[in-house]
């Protein structure tokens, strides 16, 4: 039966096949056509898919190209500053200045390719052949240097204490003409009482054209450079005159030896090396009394032999470089005079007694303004304390720099870094020796002090920073503009990445400006603030929105810093440089699930200030107010960040405390020499798997709801914070609040074998300022902890002032941070960035 059925099937199939001489039936023709149609459909679909894929491919390429350009495309709204806002015609009183914070003494204009002037020096007949001083270097081991008085505009007095002698550098400006007026320098050299013999010193005054303008040397008496004349577009014609050294203002000329160098340079960062490679010992110093001795002086520039062999040719445009060297025995005084060719009604030269009179007048004005602004004398501070406070303010003003150039930036859409558009930056710097450039989160703190002294400086500095914003609303957090600035930065820190933020501290300075305006709307210094804010606002909105979209956290109204170190193998706790608190302990294993309490509080503060500014300008402010109210909701803050285990505010993330640094094992086969194998590194050992939890590190980050006034004055959490702050086993020291509790497992622990603890114990003045400010706020606000806050305010304020002052007197410097065990200054110095906020604590101005 089965066989037949199979046969019948086969026969049936055979019967269905048409013979050659038969015409296909209608049914078969339709079947064939259907197959052909299906084939065409399939081919058409395939072609369509190919075309779609190509379209998507080219669209993706196009979008990647578009997205890759966004990082280096400036914001489209009109700049806050007009193109010529820093020019001699618009702002003549600020055109020339000590805007070269990276050198011990020098001046330039606020223009992209300024003629720069400066001074180098070296001691002759010393134990060290090469002790040339020029750029501020901690390795020079000076006993101290810094501005004692500087008004940020018209004059400055600086003291530089080298070994066995002190140089006092003074300058005074005089307005007139169309190119920023005249100025005079006076350098006074005195030996220390401990010096066995009066030192012989060579001062080297120079002028350099940064690719623009020309300089001509005018030589008298064989080797003495009497003057330099020059021309540039910004300055017109000008003359720099080098007066002969005298023993004092009214004294006769002293014996001196003279030398000069006239050459070219392809970059300002090369000036020191050019001078070093032009020095020669063939010259003879022969005073009327005393022995003749060979001394070192500039001669002819000879590039080092290895340089031309190994390095590619420098293709940058050359600029004139002229050096005047005068070698003279202490004590002496020398004046250098700059005269603008457009200054037609000059009554007398700004030298000698005329300069002294002008200088004394400016000093008296400075003293009067300082007392009017800060009132330290009326608060009972000693003259020594007031002198220190004047120096701290003056160093910040004297550390203002004007930079011009291009940042190197990168986004996830760029395979290689791009050059950012050229831009200018007028900014204070944290440290003239170690950080002589702009840092975004530092600048907000800087301007808290400077806005009290001169609100116009603050408006201009903020405007420069905001004008560097790209179309996304991102501002590169570290500004390394120009070859001179770049020469001081390690390569790994040069490229700025557009997902990385920095605390938006400029809002603190904007808050100060708006409060000044509200309190004194008729005061002349405050009146430009309203039009300034109006021009600023479109960019400010984008900046705020950038934080709100790029730094959001995993839960609604939570935030997370991007840019944490990704190599978890090498770091005990991967750094969060973007937060400003570098190695402060965060979640041990970086992830997208982190919540950062400090960033949340910065956003609460910023949204409130945005609401105030918008309302002041008559702009829609309701959304900012809603955002501020939501982020400041203490129930939300407690829910997201309060750790019951720690009884404190804390970050949340993928975390374990069971980590340590251990020396890795390197296998060396028997009989093989050990030096042929890699050096054993310190690497991280994780002894217990991480899990989502609170980080439970008590320190500065735990204080942020208090520091930025997010906590309500009746919050029970405030009581915990005040109690823990005052605990000497946690944050309290006789010198200020330490950055991390002594009880924390990472307290004073290295992060790698090369990274010493940075924010893991030492005392930082910016956060201590915020703490003193917050204590003052809660002491003036009704609540159950008002009296406790008042007592802590007085105690903490006194401790910080006393320690920073004591260290300044003992060491000659204000420091980057202070040791939490001894109070000793440590880190970069001088650090008259945010450490100068000590002045505001003295004045009790918050």
Cα-Cα-Cα-Cα torsion 489, 492, 495, 497, nearest 10 degrees, comes to -130
Encode burial over 1-19: b for 16+ CB neighbours within 10 A, e otherwise. Answer: eeeeeeeeeeeeeeeeeee
For residue 291, indicate whether it is catalytic.
no
Q: Which helix (H) or strand (E) holds 500?
A: none
Residue 781 structure tokens: 């606000």
Count the residues in the chain: 846
**Closest by alpha carbon to 406, among 511, 494, 303, 294?**
494
Q: Is the dihedral of CA 662, 666, 667, 671 positive or negative?
A: negative
Contacts 24+ apart (CB under 8 A), 174-177: 174/350, 174/358, 175/92, 175/93, 176/340, 176/343, 176/345, 176/346, 177/340, 177/341, 177/342, 177/343, 177/344
Residue 191 structure tokens: 């030996």
For residue 582, indicate whether it is catalytic.
yes
Helix residue ranges per DSSP H, 347-454: 352-374, 383-398, 440-453
In angstroms, rounded to a whole number, what is the distance separating the alpha carbons of residues 662 and 682?
Answer: 5
Q: Which helix (H) or strand (E) holds 651?
A: none
**Closest by alpha carbon to 727, among 738, 711, 713, 717?**
738
- Count Cβ atoms within 10 A of the Cβ of residue 48 and give its class: 0-12 exposed, 13-18 middle, 19 or more buried: exposed
- Count Cβ atoms within 10 A of the Cβ of residue 191 and give its class: 0-12 exposed, 13-18 middle, 19 or more buried: middle
**Closest by alpha carbon to 412, among 706, 704, 63, 173?**
63
Write the DSSP symbol of residue 116.
Answer: E
Encode burial over 738-751: b for 16+ CB neighbours within 10 A, e otherwise. Answer: bbbbbebbbbebbb
Contact 362, 172 (CB under 8 A): yes
CA angle 517, 522, 524 (to 5 degrees): 85
Catalytic residue among 210, 598, 816, 820: 816
**Closest by alpha carbon to 832, among 150, 45, 278?**
150
Catalytic residue among 249, 582, 664, 795: 582
In angstroms, rounded to a whole number, what is the distance separating the alpha carbons of residues 202 and 199?
Answer: 10
Beta bridge partners of 190: 166
Tokens 């495309």 found at:
73
Write the DSSP symbol of residue 253.
Answer: B
In angstroms, rounded to a whole number, what is the distance separating the alpha carbons of residues 482 and 802?
Answer: 39
**Closest by alpha carbon to 431, among 135, 663, 720, 713?**
135
In angstroms, rounded to a whole number, what is the distance separating the alpha carbons of residues 328 and 722?
Answer: 60
What is the helix, strand, coil percentage profile of the chain, to 5? 35, 25, 40
Encode burial over 420-457: b for 16+ CB neighbours within 10 A, e otherwise. Answer: beebbbbbbbbbbbbbbbbbbbbbbbbbbbbbbbbbbb
In angstroms, rounded to a whole number, what is the distance separating the alpha carbons of residues 717 and 711?
Answer: 8
Contacts 24+ apart (CB under 8 A), 298-306: 298/204, 298/259, 298/260, 298/261, 298/323, 298/325, 299/259, 299/261, 300/261, 301/261, 301/263, 301/274, 301/277, 302/277, 302/278, 303/277, 304/277
Write the DSSP symbol of residue 574.
Answer: -
Q: Name the residues annotated as catalytic.
A: 582, 816
């Amino acid at each position: 039966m089965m066989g037949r059925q199979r046969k019948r099937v086969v026969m049936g199939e055979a019967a269905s096949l048409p013979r050659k001489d038969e015409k296909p039936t209608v049914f078969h023709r339709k079947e064939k056509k259907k197959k052909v149609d299906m084939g065409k459909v399939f081919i058409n679909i395939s072609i369509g898919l190919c075309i779609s894929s190509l379209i998507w491919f080219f669209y993706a390429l196009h979008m990647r190209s578009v997205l890759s350009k966004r990082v280096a495309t400036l914001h489209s709204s009109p700049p806050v500053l007009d193109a010529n806002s820093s020019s001699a015609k618009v702002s003549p009183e600020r055109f020339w200045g000590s805007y070269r914070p990276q050198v011990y003494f020098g001046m330039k204009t606020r223009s992209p390719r300024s003629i720069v002037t400066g001074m180098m020096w070296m001691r002759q007949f010393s134990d060290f052949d090469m002790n040339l001083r020029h750029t501020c270097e901690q390795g020079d081991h000076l006993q101290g240097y810094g501005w004692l008085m500087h008004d940020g505009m018209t004059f400055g007095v600086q003291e530089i204490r080298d070994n066995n002698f002190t140089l006092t550098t003074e300058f005074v400006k005089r307005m007139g003409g169309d190119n920023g007026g005249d100025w005079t320098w006076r350098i006074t050299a005195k030996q220390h009482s401990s010096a066995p013999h009066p030192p012989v010193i060579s001062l080297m005054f120079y002028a350099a054209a940064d690719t623009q303008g020309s300089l001509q040397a005018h030589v008298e008496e064989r080797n003495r450079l009497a003057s330099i004349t020059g021309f540039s577009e910004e300055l017109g014609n000008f003359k720099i005159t080098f007066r002969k050294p005298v023993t004092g203002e009214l004294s006769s000329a002293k014996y001196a030896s003279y030398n000069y160098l006239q050459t070219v340079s392809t970059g300002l960062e090369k000036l020191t090396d050019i001078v070093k490679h032009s020095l020669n010992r063939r010259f003879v110093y022969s005073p009327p009394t005393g022995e003749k001795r060979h001394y070192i002086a500039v001669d002819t520039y000879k590039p080092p032999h290895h340089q031309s062999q190994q390095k590619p040719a420098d293709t940058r445009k050359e600029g004139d470089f002229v050096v005047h060297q005068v070698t003279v025995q202490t004590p002496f005084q020398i004046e250098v005079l700059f005269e603008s060719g457009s200054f037609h009604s000059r009554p007398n030269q700004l030298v000698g007694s005329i300069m002294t009179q002008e200088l004394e007048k400016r000093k008296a004005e400075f003293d009067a303004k300082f007392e009017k602004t800060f009132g330290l004398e009326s608060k009972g501070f000693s003259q020594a304390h007031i002198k220190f406070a004047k120096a701290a303010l003056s160093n910040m003003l004297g550390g203002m720099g004007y930079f011009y150039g291009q940042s190197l930036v990168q986004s996830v859409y760029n395979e290689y870094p791009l050059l950012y558009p050229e831009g200018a930056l007028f900014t204070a710097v944290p440290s003239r020796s170690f950080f002589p450039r702009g840092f975004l989160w530092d600048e907000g703190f800087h301007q808290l002090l400077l806005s009290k002294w001169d609100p116009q400086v603050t408006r201009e500095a903020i405007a420069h920073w905001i004008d560097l914003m790209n179309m996304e609303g991102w501002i590169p957090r570290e500004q390394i503009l120009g070859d001179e600035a770049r020469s001081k930065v390690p390569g790994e820190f040069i490229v700025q990445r557009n997902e990385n933020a920095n605390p938006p501290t400029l809002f603190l300075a904007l808050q100060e400006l708006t409060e000044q305006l509200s309190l004194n709307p008729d005061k002349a210094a405050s009146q430009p603030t309203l039009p300034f804010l109006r021009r600023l606002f479109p960019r400010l909105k984008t900046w705020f929105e950038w934080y709100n979209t790029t730094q959001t956290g995993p839960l609604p109204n939570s935030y997370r810093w991007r840019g944490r170190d990704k190599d978890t193998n090498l770091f005990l706790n991967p750094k969060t440089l973007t937060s400003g608190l570098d190695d402060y302990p965060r979640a041990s294993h970086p992830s997208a699930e982190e919540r950062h309490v400090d960033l949340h509080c910065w956003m609460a503060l910023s949204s409130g200030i945005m609401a105030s500014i918008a309302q002041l300008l008559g702009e829609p402010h309701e959304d900012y107010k809603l955002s501020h109210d939501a982020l400041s909701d203490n129930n939300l803050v407690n829910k997201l960040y309060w750790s019951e285990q720690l009884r404190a505010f804390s970050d949340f993330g993928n975390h374990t405390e069971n980590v340590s640094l251990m020396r890795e094992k390197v296998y060396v086969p028997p009989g093989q020499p050990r030096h042929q194998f890699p050096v054993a590194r310190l690497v991280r050992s994780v002894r217990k798997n991480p899990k989502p939890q609170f980080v439970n590190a008590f320190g500065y980050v735990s204080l942020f709801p208090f520091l930025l006034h997010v906590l309500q004055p009746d919050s029970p959490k405030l009581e915990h914070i005040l109690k823990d702050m005052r605990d000497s086993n946690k944050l309290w020291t006789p010198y200020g609040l330490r950055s991390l509790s002594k009880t924390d497992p990472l307290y004073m622990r290295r992060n790698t074998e090369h990274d010493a603890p940075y924010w893991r114990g030492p005392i930082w003045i910016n956060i201590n300022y915020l703490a003193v400010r917050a204590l003052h706020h809660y002491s003036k606000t009704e609540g159950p902890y008002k009296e406790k806050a008042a007592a802590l305010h007085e105690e903490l304020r006194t401790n910080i002032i006393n320690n920073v002052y004591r260290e300044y007197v003992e060491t000659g410097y204000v420091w980057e941070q202070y040791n939490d065990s001894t109070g000793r200054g440590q880190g970069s110095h001088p650090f008259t960035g945010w450490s100068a906020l000590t002045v505001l604590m003295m004045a009790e101005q918050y």
